[in-house]
Amino acid sequence: MKPQARQVPSDDCVVTIDSVDYALHEGESVTVVPGFSVGDIQLMRRFSELRPQLDAATSPGEQIGITADTCNEIIDALSKRLLAWTWTDDAGRYLPQPLGNPMAFAPLRVEELMYLALIVRGESPGKRKNGSRPSPTSSSATRTSKRRVRKA
- Residue 99: inside a domain, yes or no? yes
**What range defines the domain where residue 111 resides?**
6-151
Query: Residue 51: what pLDDT?
Result: 64
Q: What is the pLDDT of residue 62?
A: 52
Total domains in the chain come to 1
The reported pLDDT for the residue numbered 134 is: 41
* pLDDT for residue 43: 67
Cα Rg for the chain, rounded, in angstroms? 15
The pLDDT assigned to 150 comes to 57
In a domain, 1, yes or no: no
Task: Specify which residues 6 forms β-bridges with.
Answer: 32
Which strands form 29-32's sheet, in the order they lie side by side? 6-9, 29-32, 82-85
Instruction: Give residue-wise pLDDT tens across range 113-129.
Output: 889 988 888 776 664 33
Closest CA to 77 of 46, 123, 111, 109: 46
| Spans of the chain below 50 pLDDT | 60-61, 127-148
Q: How far is 143 from 122, CA to CA, in rounded Å?
A: 18
